[in-house]
Amino acid sequence: MRGFETREIAKLTADGIIRSIDHVTSESPLSIIVESENHGRHELGITMRTEGHDNLLSIGFLYSEGIIATSRDIDEMIVEDNQIVFKLNDGALFDPVQHCRRSTVTSSCGICGRSNISNVLTDFNVDLDEDMHIRLETVAKCLNSVIGKQEVFSKTGGSHACASFTSDGTIDRVFEDVGRHNAFDKLVGSYLEQGGSFGPGLGAFVSGRASFELVQKTIRAGFPIMIAVGAPSTLAVDLAKEHGLTLGCFAKDQSITIFSGVRRIGN
């Protein structure tokens, strides 16, 4: 899937109305369903996403939600049009009361539809890598590299990107989606599907703001550093400080604002 479609437009300019065709980021629903011997079949919710890498998105979502700790917790994955069914084994920690959503998860939503917040502010049993350090040159290289790899954004201007990067700013992999949380889940899912880990030596980059949900996903995945183009929220900063995450926001070629974990930043 290309991740975008074309639509007819009418552009108003000083010379009048010009009719043309423009590219638009695709968005459609995906239903994620799990089956387990203890709890039966349940729909976790419907997420609005950009088509492509649905398997990675779903696996990353299960991990971020705390339902699985590894891809080995999945016995079978059945991919259909706009629906993915996971058959979980005894290793999974699925609880329908905690994990099933009551509403559609929109492209801008991270924890929408939760029936309670008991498992939102979860304690993480993750020791973040203290060996990874970055410099300002890392930020500049990372920014420019991600921009060059955003194929959907280059066509539409309407997608988010999440990427993993090394200490020198080299991009390991990057994913796009109309929803920033979906893009991050695709990134995480890509490692889980291969049975690999997220590091050490890898940080996370997000093209938008640093929301609480994205900081939570970053810590859950074990990335020690998170770089964001946009601003953080208060809860995102507090969560980053609590768990020792290096959180850098307002990333530019010549500057970055560090809200937490300045010890991993070099001159």
pLDDT, tens digit, 9 for 90 and up, residues 235-253: 999 999 999 999 999 999 9
Which segments of the chain does DSSP mark as H helices, in order?
Answer: 54-64, 96-99, 136-149, 151-156, 180-193, 212-221, 234-243
Which pLDDT score, from 0 to 100, does residue 127 have?
Answer: 84
Which pLDDT score, from 0 to 100, does residue 87 have?
Answer: 95
Residue 28 CA to residue 46 CA, distance in Å, equals 10
Catalytic residue among 109, 142, 162, 249: 109
Amino acid at 105: V
* CA 263 from centre of chain: 25
pLDDT at residue 9 tops 90: yes
Q: What is the pLDDT of residues 62-105, one digit of tens each?
A: 999 889 999 999 999 999 888 999 999 988 888 887 777 655 55
- Token look-up 């955003």 returns 150
Which pLDDT score, from 0 to 100, does residue 144 have?
Answer: 92
Which pLDDT score, from 0 to 100, does residue 163 have?
Answer: 97
Higher pLDDT, 16 or 97: 16
Active site residue 249: no
Peptide bond into 200 cis (omega under 30): yes
| CA-atom Rg of the chain in angstroms | 19
Residue 123's Cβ-side half-sphere holds a number of Cα atoms within 13 Å equal to: 1
Average pLDDT over residues 188-214: 89
Amino acid at 234: T
Which pLDDT score, from 0 to 100, does residue 191 have?
Answer: 94
- Contact at 8 Å (CB) between 19 and 9? yes
pLDDT at residue 189 tops 90: yes
Average pLDDT over residues 174-186: 95
Domains of the chain, earliest start first: 28-99 (3.10.20.10), 136-264 (3.40.140.10)
Residue 30 CA to residue 32 CA, distance in Å, equals 6
Among 41-55, 95-109, 149-163, the range scoring the smallest mean pLDDT is 95-109
Among 30-39, 162-171, 173-182, 233-242, the range scoring the smallest mean pLDDT is 30-39
CA distances from 1 to 6, 113, 250 (A): 13, 28, 31
Which pLDDT score, from 0 to 100, does residue 115 have?
Answer: 46
For the whole model, what pTM was predicted?
0.88
3-class SS of residue 8: strand
Average pLDDT over residues 198-220: 91
Which pLDDT score, from 0 to 100, does residue 117 have?
Answer: 45
Q: What is the pLDDT of residues 94-124, one digit of tens each?
A: 888 777 765 555 555 554 544 444 455 555 5
Which pLDDT score, from 0 to 100, does residue 155 have?
Answer: 92
Which pLDDT score, from 0 to 100, does residue 17 have?
Answer: 96
pLDDT at residue 231 tops 60: yes
Which pLDDT score, from 0 to 100, does residue 98 have?
Answer: 77
